[in-house]
Amino acid sequence: MDKPLFQRILQVGVVVSNLEASMQQYTNKYGIGPWAIYELGPDQLQKMIVHNQLQPYRMRIALTDLGGVELELIQPLDDGSIHAEFLREHGEGLHHLAFAVKDYDRTMELAKNQGLQVLQSGTWVDETFTYLSTQEDLGLIAEIYKRQPGYIEPKPDRVYPEGADS
């Protein structure tokens, strides 16, 4: 196996029940923000897979940089995603870490050979995101990305607090 499989942490993902209240808490109590907010669903995402089946899902996310690591808050807007499953089964909390990988396709091959399953995936603009079933081994879900050359994160639907630079 190529060592290490995961190169560095890119993102910490937290599932929340109320995105607005969570952003306010992070911002007002801990000074974390500003937040770039997106609503994502079948109109923005392609190839939406949940547990190996085509399955549309909707969510609102908020992203901010925290010392070079992206912090993502995720509010499921329906019952179709692994985020909604997590919220139902565990409540709010740490859901996943997104890791940089040297080669996405090779990492997927190694993950499959190790018996890891794809819990959820999709494509947003020029980025494929994949959540892997690493809970038993790592105690959390691992997410990896495949970004096309020249990838630029889409303009947010809005920013919180209003008027801040995301």
Q: What pTM does this model have?
A: 0.94
| Residue where the block lists tokens 């409540």 | 91
Each of the 166 residues of the chain gets a pLDDT tens digit; together they read 557 789 999 999 999 999 999 999 999 999 999 999 999 999 999 999 999 999 999 999 999 999 999 999 999 999 999 999 999 999 999 999 999 999 999 999 999 999 999 999 999 999 999 999 999 999 999 999 999 888 888 999 999 998 777 5
Q: Return the CATH superfamily for domain 8-148.
A: 2,3-Dihydroxybiphenyl 1,2-Dioxygenase, domain 1 (3.10.180.10)
Residue type, 164: A
pLDDT at 166: 57
Give the Cα separation of 125 and 132 in Å (integer): 21
